[in-house]
Amino acid sequence: MAAFSSDEQRCIEQQIYELSSVCPTPPDRIRNVYELDRCDQWINANGLSKVCLQFPDNLLCDSPDVLLSLRNSSGAQCFILGDTSYGSCCVDEVSAEHVQADGIIHFGHACLSLTIRLPVLYIFQSKPLDVQNLMNAISARFEDCNSSLLVIYDVAYSHKIADVDKALTLKFPNAVSARPTLSNSAKEQYNCLGSSFTLPDKSILENYNVLYIGHDGRTFTNYLLELAACKLFRYDPEETQSCVQPADGKISKFLMKRLHLVERVKDARTLGILIGTLGVEGYLDAVDRVKLLAKKTGKKTYIFAVGRPNIPKLANFPEVDVFVLIACPENSLFDWKEFYQPVVSIYEVELACNSAREWSSKYVIDFRQLLSGGGDHVELSDTPEDTLDVSLITGKVRNIDLSSSVNDSEERSVAARADLAVCVSTGSQFLSNRSWQGLEQSLGQTPVELASVGRIGVASSYQSEPLQRKLE
């Protein structure tokens, strides 16, 4: 059984490893590494006076030098955003608004999700890429020079796109490169998870071999799912012996786990909508979509905003059967194995509650594609849902309670039970039966007392303690 606390040993080891692997940038290289001349031009072009600088944890050691240099060169008032409310890949507009900032410069890896409130400049952490080694690896894997090849880059290698394109066109005339760009903002034929590209006329995406340049992480997993119909390969420049490796055998096992979560959503009576972002465009529309799906299948919904989810936070709500995480594409796939309740994405809720949507090998990561106007949006079926279904997990018959889907125009009455507890939903019933229901203010019931002097000294030897007890 999991404990209601973090594993202190694992936390300490992780901090030591991260700190030991971070090397501060020399002061004379700060302006080049962080492209501060480009930052100055952006600040002056937009007439910004207050700018927030957002850093991931591994770049915080350079944040004071970046701030001082940028403040002296641009003249703008700068603030450092270090501890982001959610993922470091997302722009933290909420924290920036606390100081009335009129712009944000985001450093390091980014998911490139569209923001809502403030202008944003992205400065990626550029990593070295040997173009000749890359071409040798591609030639060794794809012997046919006429192969249809689509190259997708991690944002850390976007500065090398022009060099790679020049080398590719000499040997692979049918190769296409994707450009990192803001999701849904480029007028390209395809826009997938922050990468936009256009294929030649009469070309089919499924016929392309997709090569991802970057490490095996969340971003690569998302491309695996979004481009499941294509054959994917990966090239990691940071590996000792870099080569083009196929990415086979990962999708089927993942989809089996997610299909299990679809059944958990079908079994659930109460869904907790977990807010995992406050800056990605359309997150409120996603909340409304989940509420609509839950209402159609007779499920209760509650909205939670707890910052970064962890075991102690979510364990405070045992009345919730399944949590639905609304976050950017890189934070949507949550590892819930140690949690008391599963944490699913909106796509699982769509598969469980929308009978008009069919199961396919493609997994939709970006929740905006599921909303109205998105490429994977499916309207709800007008036919009534079957009220009886068999659970593939428990083997029991599920009864969909559609009586909870009450029309907003209908009048509702609240009745008091004999124990004076008012019951309006599943969550309130659970709360009324708990022995502890949280802190109570008890306004007007606590007598007012004057403040008195407390203990003086240190915890091991207060001055008010007897001498004999101190000696013991």
- 169-220 per-position pLDDT tens digit: 888 888 888 888 765 544 456 777 778 888 887 788 888 889 999 888 888 8
Confidence of residue 285 (pLDDT cuts 50, 70, 90): very high
Please state, in angstroms and rounded to a whole number, the distance separating the CA atoms of residues 197 and 188. Answer: 6
Please state, in angstroms and rounded to a whole number, the distance separating the CA atoms of residues 369 and 371. Answer: 6
Q: Does domain 252-380 have CATH number 3.40.50.720?
A: no
Q: Does domain 131-248 have CATH number 3.40.50.11850?
A: yes
pLDDT at position 356: 86
Please state, in angstroms and rounded to a whole number, the distance separating the CA atoms of residues 179 and 195. Answer: 5
- The CATH number of 29-124, from 3.40.50.11840, 3.20.20.210, 3.40.50.720, 3.50.50.60, is 3.40.50.11840
* Least confident segment among 221-225, 295-299, 428-432: 428-432
- Reported as a single tens digit per residue, the pLDDT across 249-282 is 667 777 788 888 899 999 999 999 999 888 788 8
Please state, in angstroms and rounded to a whole number, the distance separating the CA atoms of residues 403 and 380. Answer: 19
Containing 461, the helix (H) or strand (E) segment is strand 461-462
* Least confident segment among 172-176, 358-362, 382-386, 444-448: 382-386
Does the pLDDT at position 468 exceed 60?
Answer: no
* Least confident segment among 49-63, 408-422, 445-459: 408-422
Q: Where in the chain is the domain with CATH 3.40.50.11850?
A: 131-248
* Least confident segment among 69-78, 135-144, 161-170, 432-441: 432-441
Q: Are 404 and 294 in contact (CB under 8 A)?
A: no
Q: How many helices (H) and strands (E) does the chain have?
A: 14, 20
Average pLDDT rounded to a whole number, residues 104-119: 87
Lookup result for tokens 């958990």? 264
Average pLDDT rounded to a whole number, residues 217-237: 85
- Reported as a single tens digit per residue, the pLDDT across 45-89 is 999 999 999 998 888 889 999 999 999 999 899 999 877 777 788
Q: Where in the chain is the domain with CATH 3.40.50.11840?
A: 29-124
Confidence of residue 432 (pLDDT cuts 50, 70, 90): low
24 or 410, which is more confident: 24
Residues forming beta bridges with residue 51, ordered by sequence position? 78, 103
Please state, in angstroms and rounded to a whole number, the distance separating the CA atoms of residues 274 and 307. Answer: 9
